[in-house]
Chain A
Amino acid sequence: MTGAQSSRARDQSSTGYEHLTPLFVEMAETATDDPRRAELRNKLVTGHLPLAEHIAARFSNRGVPREDLVQVATLGLINAVDRFQPDRGTDFLSFAVPTVMGEVRRHFRDASWSMHVPRRLKELNLAINAASAELSQRLGRAPTPSELGRHLNLSPEQVFEGLEAGNAYHSMSLDEALSPDSDSDPLGDTLGQPDAALDGVENYESLRPLIESLPERERQILTLRFFRHMTQTQIAERIGISQMHVSRLLSRTLEQLREGLIGEPEPKR
């Protein structure tokens, strides 16, 4: 949660880019082969980095790791710095924000879907995910499809379509590319093992190694849901991913545990 707080703090001081504005004029007036130009460009990109981080944070609860988003947003920022023309009369921020957001949106479209889902449905699903996070905050519980529909001004059928599209959303490979602790909070350190909670479970001996072999985040989610009795929405908020993502990870984890307990999974027919 510290990430969200720091980005909010940054937001309040986000008018603090004015000192950079003269640099754009200076860069525009510097010849392309002048080494000063690269230096100015560097300063402009570095100076605006909080903007990229802020935009990345706005998209961060949707199943794509924040580091990836920051990287993509930074690329968008560099493009914006390169293409901005100070003599056009617009200020940099109103030019850069849509450019950077466009880059992040494109990343979601290109990198995160495992099967072909029409763009309309992907955007619908992203909108529902964002609305779901917002409404959960306000209501103190997960919203219903009709609440989402009212909030987004969508028909029930559109909400259903958007929710179902989430099942085609592929975040697993991105998760697996991450090292176990790179984006998890210190929760994992404090949580301990679910050992005590497993007392009295009959297949404890075969279950424990299976749980221990789970990736850190999957184990956290399993523990929070089944031993701490947190809801998926509460877990999502705590871990910093979307409720739909928690749902997918839990589903896959339970399946793995079942397969592990049965032994061999049933052959495909």
Chain B
Amino acid sequence: MFEGTEDGSPEEIELRIAAVLTNLPIIRSLAASIAMRADFDLDSIADLRLAVDEACSTLITQGAPGATLTCAFTVSAEEIRFVVTVPSTSDTKPSSDSFGWRVLTTLTDRTATWVDGPDDGDTHLVHIELAKRRTEGLPG
């Protein structure tokens, strides 16, 4: 009903914002707004909002001082994909044994994390990717 672009191709939305915890409300509002407008059910909207919050706060605490967080949403007919990236001085991946990781895997359908670089100096890029699928059995 309200989903995506006119030709049905996935819609991409990107937000770049200072990697500080006080910016979390902006990011989670955007996540909820995107899921709402993609006509996800209320449980999925709330789950995505919590998961985005969790992923971003994990990376914010790992980011280099003064870092910028990049949040990319891709909305397709089947799912909303979210990739958050932060430059970090460390090449440590977020632990998949942590409680935070359990939160992410419970709330979403797909979760991944990886580290790129360094391609300039000693800055690594740490990523977390999430996907929330549209609940089956929904009309349209």
Binding site for B on A (CB under 8 A): 132, 141-147, 156, 160, 163-164, 167, 198, 200-203, 207, 225-226, 229, 231-233, 243-244, 246-247, 250-251, 254-255, 257-258, 261-262, 265-266, 268-269
Report which of B49, B98, B99 forms a contact with A247, defined as CB distance below 8 A. Answer: B49
Q: Is the CB of B57 within 8 A of A258?
A: yes
* Interface 0/1 of B96-140, CB less than 8 Å to A: 011110110010000000000000000000000000000101111
**B1-47 with Cβ < 8 A to chain A:** 1-2, 20-22, 28-29, 33, 36-37, 39-47
A144 touches B41 (CB 8 A): yes
A156 touches B44 (CB 8 A): no
Write the residues of chain B forming the contact surface with A, with a CB cutoff of 8 angstroms. 1-2, 20-22, 28-29, 33, 36-37, 39-47, 49-50, 53-54, 57, 60-61, 95, 97-100, 102-103, 106, 135, 137-140
A233 to B106, CA, bound (A): 15
Assess A254 versus B50: contact at CB under 8 Å? Given A202-B95, A203-B99, A225-B106. Answer: yes
Q: Chain A contacts of B49 at CB under 8 A?
A: 247, 251
Tell me whether A243 and B42 are in contact (CB under 8 A).
yes
**Chain B residues with CB under 8 A of A142:** 41-44
Top 10 nearest A-B pairs (CB, nearest first) are A142-B43, A142-B42, A247-B46, A202-B97, A142-B41, A146-B1, A266-B21, A231-B43, A144-B39, A144-B41
**CA–CA, A163 to B47, complex, Å?**
15
Residues of B within 8 A of A145 (CB): 2, 36-37, 39, 42
Q: Are B53 and A254 in contact (CB under 8 A)?
A: yes
- The 8 Å CB contact of B42, one of A233, A257, A265, is A233
Q: Which residues of A contact B33 (CB under 8 A)?
A: 160, 164
Rounded to whole angstroms, the CA-CA distance of A60 and B97 in the bound complex is 39
Contact, CB under 8 Å: B20 / A266: yes
Provide the residues of chain A in CB contact with B61, threshold 8 Å: 262, 266
Which residue of chain A has its CB nearest to the CB of B97?
A202
Q: Is A268 within 8 A of B46, CB to CB?
A: no
Alpha-carbon distance A225/B106, docked complex (angstroms): 8
Most-contacted residue by chain B among A141, A144, A146, A251 (CB, 10 A): A144
What's the minimum C-beta distance from A115 to chain B, rounded to whole angstroms?
A: 13
Cα separation A142 to B57 with both chains bound (whole Å):
27
With a cutoff of 8 Å between Cβ atoms, the chain A residues found around residue B21 in the complex are 265-266
Sample of 14 more A-B contacts, CB < 8 Å, known A225-B106, A266-B61, A268-B22? A141-B137, A144-B40, A145-B36, A147-B139, A156-B1, A156-B2, A164-B33, A200-B97, A202-B97, A226-B102, A226-B106, A247-B49, A254-B50, A258-B57
